[in-house]
Every structure is written in structure tokens, then in C-alpha cells.
């Protein structure tokens, strides 16, 4: 996949087809996606491909999957600080947290708290980062669904991104359950 088509889902789907037929090792493909992400953190297709590959690589070893998921949290943190306005990394982070909830139930609350602290730290530097604020809401909802901070953060999102006000108004009741 070259630079011109690096973000095209069709190209990535075709790549999955070709690499499966050619029996390219999943670890080689993980390395490739990392290279593409390092070239452009905004490459949602590469992040999406990683989500498929991580599950394939570690399908028979849940402990290694957990380690990989934790490593991915570190990778995504670097992307947050490099480009906090880019939605690709924030969506991938949501997927990672969903995987943590599924595979790491015993430590999930602790991980959510750690991630919340990291996002709040970023918000100290980037107080109007809508993706960071939105992520902090999702994380906070996992920690304390009744927190008054949720409403304050929703109100802030409505101010900095009025185009999506109706979406934000529905956050506390619909999307955070």
C-alpha cells in the first residue's frame, strides 16, 4: 500500500486477502501497520488493521493478548500527544478499552483510572481537545457514572464544538451505558 492509497479501506481489505493467500505472517503485517502508523498517525485504516491482527496473533494466548493491548495503550498515548485532534487514535483507544473490558475484567477499573489520568493530563496541555474530552467522559462513565464532571465536560464539548451539540446532549443518557 503506497502513500497515495494508504488510508483507503478497499486497499487494506485487498491487502488482507493477498497476505492471507500468500501466508504472510501476522507479525510481519503488525510491523507493517506500525510503520504506516508512524508515517501518519491519522491512518485509521492501519489502526483498524492492527485491531484485526492483534486478535489473530494472540488468539490462542490471552496473556500475550493482554500484554499486547497494554503495549498498544502506550503506542496510542504517543499518538495522542503528537496529534490530539486526530480522531483515528481516539477510536482505536476506544477499541482497546473495549478489549480490556472483555479480556482484563479483574484489572479493568484500574486500567480505566490510569487512562483517565493520562487523558486528564493531556487536557491540561490541550484543554479544548474535543476527542480528549469525549474520551475522558467515556472513561469517567466507567469509573463513576453519576459523576457531576460528566455534565460539565458535555457542556464544554457543546461550547467548543457546537455543530455536534445534539450528539453531546445524548452522551450521558444513551451512549455511556
Q: Is the pTM of this model over 0.85?
A: yes
Identify whether the C-beta of residue 11 lies closer than 8 Å to the C-beta of residue 46. Answer: no
Identify whether the C-beta of residue 36 lies closer than 8 Å to the C-beta of residue 43. Answer: yes
How do the pLDDT tens digits run along the chain, 177 residues long?
A: 555 556 566 788 888 899 989 999 999 999 999 999 998 888 899 999 999 999 999 999 989 999 999 999 999 998 999 889 999 999 999 999 999 999 999 999 999 999 999 999 999 999 999 999 999 999 999 999 999 999 999 999 999 999 999 999 887 654 444
C-alpha distance from residue 70 to each of 19, 67, 104, 176 (Å): 26, 5, 10, 23
Structure letter (DSSP) for residue 173: I
Q: Hey, what's the cell of 116?
A: 483517565
Amino acid at each position: 500500500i503506497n502513500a497515495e492509497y494508504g488510508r483507503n479501506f478497499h486497499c487494506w481489505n485487498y491487502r488482507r486477502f493477498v497476505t492471507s493467500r500468500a501466508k504472510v505472517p501476522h507479525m510481519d503485517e503488525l510491523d507493517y501497520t506500525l510503520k504506516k502508523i508512524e508515517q501518519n498517525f491519522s491512518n485509521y485504516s492501519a489502526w483498524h488493521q492492527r485491531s484485526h491482527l492483534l486478535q489473530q496473533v494472540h488468539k490462542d494466548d490471552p496473556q500475550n493478548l493482554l500484554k499486547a493491548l497494554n503495549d498498544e495503550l502506550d503506542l496510542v498515548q504517543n499518538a495522542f500527544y503528537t496529534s490530539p485532534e486526530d480522531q483515528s487514535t481516539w477510536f482505536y483507544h476506544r477499541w482497546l478499552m473495549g478489549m480490556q473490558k472483555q479480556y482484563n475484567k479483574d484489572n479493568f477499573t484500574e486500567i480505566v483510572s490510569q487512562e483517565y489520568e493520562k487523558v486528564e493530563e493531556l487536557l491540561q496541555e490541550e484543554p479544548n481537545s474535543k476527542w480528549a474530552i469525549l474520551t475522558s467522559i467515556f472513561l469517567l462513565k466507567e469509573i463513576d457514572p453519576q459523576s457531576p464532571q460528566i455534565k460539565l465536560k458535555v457542556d464544554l464539548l457543546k461550547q467548543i464544538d457546537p455543530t455536534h451539540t445534539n450528539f453531546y446532549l445524548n452522551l450521558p443518557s444513551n451512549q455511556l451505558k
